[in-house]
Amino acid sequence: MPIELINASFTYPDGSPAVESVNLTINDGERVAIVGQNGAGKTTTVKMMNGLLRPSSGSVAVDGVLTSARTTAVTAKTVGYVFQNPDDQIFGSTVRGELEYMPRYHKWDEVKREARVARAADLTGVAEHFDVNPNDLPFAIKKFVAIGAILVGECRYVILDEPTAGLDSRGLALLNRMIDQLEAEGISVITITHDMRFVVESFNRVVVMAHRTVIADATATEVFASDGILKEAKLKRPEVAQLARDLGLSHTALRLGDVLPLIA
Ligand SMILES: Nc1ncnc2c1ncn2[C@@H]1O[C@H](COP(=O)(O)OP(=O)(O)OP(=O)(O)O)[C@@H](O)[C@H]1O
């Protein structure tokens, strides 16, 4: 069952409209990147998906149930949201404590708790830091702790807000391995990102937001082939894709792997 936004709009209490008439369906097991300039409405849109915000008008449904009819805690069991800044999310005094927070809150038995914590730690590579205070860890590892704390739960959709910010190539490889693993388990991954290289390397479906709404929902190839979409959303092609165009090699190549055969 999908997440379905129908004409979903959101206005903050101070009267600022943040999202206007978004229509979007995310299906089970999909990988979706949401891109667009600062202030385009991406974070507000995903917060509506997991019930942190409820639409001011229109509707948001998860598995056919309106988020407005559920508490945030219930919607968040199905749709997990990892904050952009781990410091906004993490409050445990050890990594283990952070990962065990949700199982203890839901009073899971020890066997289930241990199994879910071990799985989340394995996916995010944080087991070796179990006894460390998250605040003493480098930012990149803290990000994985924040992801792990959400993956402990049994959500079927995971939203990652700017996951590549602050990651080195090792962190990026770990992130991609984790996303592949989640996909293999049938869990949807929805990512907000400004990192166009990450988009083309790791996502096929791309939702483009500009001026508070969705202006395109297409494959990465279609989005990055369209000067109109890129201009309206003020987005840049990944360097490799732009170079392939400039050299007259291809209008659709996005990754190094697409371009190399053309010059071999
Ligand atoms: N708490 C808030 N109160 C009032 N206005 C807000 C609040 N949060 C966001 N906004 C406004 O809503 C609009 C959309 O913001 P949102 O954070 O959803 O965009 P975004 O695309 O996620 O941007 P970014 O890439 O910077 O995270 C912006 O104009 C922003 O200033």
Same structural domain, 8 and 43: yes
Pocket test for ligand 1, best of 9, 11, 16, 195 (most atoms within 8 A of CB): 16
> Is the confidence at residue 258, as pLDDT, over 90?
no
- The whole-number pLDDT of residue 263 equals 78
- Report the complex ipTM: 0.95
Yes or no: say if 224 and 33 are a contact pair by the CB < 8 Å rule.
no
pLDDT in tens, 184-199: 999 999 999 999 999 9
CA distances (Å), origin 79, targets 51, 96, 226: 8, 22, 31
Least confident residue range of 113-117, 178-182, 239-243: 239-243
48 pLDDT higher than 90? yes
Which CATH number characterizes residue 109's domain? 3.40.50.300
Mutate to test the pocket of ligand 1, among 19, 34, 42 (most ligand atoms within 8 A of CB): 42
**Residue 253: which pLDDT band, with cuts at 50, 70 and 90?**
confident
Assess whether 111 and 203 both reside in one domain: yes
Minimal-distance CA residue to ligand 1 atom 31: 39
Residue 113 CB–ligand 1 contact under 6 Å: no
For ligand 1, say whether the CB of 18 is within 6 Å of any of its atoms: yes
Q: Looking at residue 254, what is its pLDDT?
A: 87
Report the range of poorest mean pLDDT among 48-62, 71-85, 216-230, 243-257: 243-257
Which numbered atom of ligand 1 lies nearest the CA of 19?
14
Percentage of the residues of the chain whose pLDDT score is greater than 70: 100
Residue 91 has pLDDT above 90, yes or no: no
Is 179 found in the same domain as 245?
no
No. of H helices and E strands in the chain? 11, 10
pLDDT at 134 > cutoff 90: yes
Q: Are residues 21 and 144 in the same domain?
A: yes
* 29 and 85 part of one domain: yes
Residue nearest (by alpha carbon) to ligand 1 atom 6:
12
Residue type, 150: I
Atom number of ligand 1 nearest to Cα 17? 12
Please give the tally of structural domains in the chain: 2
Calculate how far, in angstroms, residue 18's C-alpha sits from the geometric centre of ligand 1: 6
Pick the residue whose CA is nearest to atom 29 on ligand 1.
39
Protein residue with its CA nearest to atom 2 in ligand 1: 12
Residues 188 and 26 sit within 8 Å (Cβ to Cβ): yes
pLDDT at residue 59, rounded to an integer: 97
Closest atom, ligand 1, to C-alpha of 40: 21
The angle formed by the CA atoms of residues 239, 240 and 241, to the nearest 5 degrees, is 90
Domain shared by 202 and 255, yes or no: no
DSSP bridge partners of 219 = 205
90 and 189 share one domain: yes
Question: Does residue 249 share a domain with residue 137?
Answer: no
Predicted local confidence at residue 133, as pLDDT:
95
One domain, residues 178 and 62? yes
Q: Which domain holds residue 100?
A: 3-233
**12 CA distance to ligand 1 centroid (A)?**
9
Residue 264 scores a pLDDT above 80: no
Confidence band, pLDDT 50/70/90 cuts, at residue 201: very high
Give the confidence band of 259 by pLDDT, cuts at 50, 70, 90.
confident
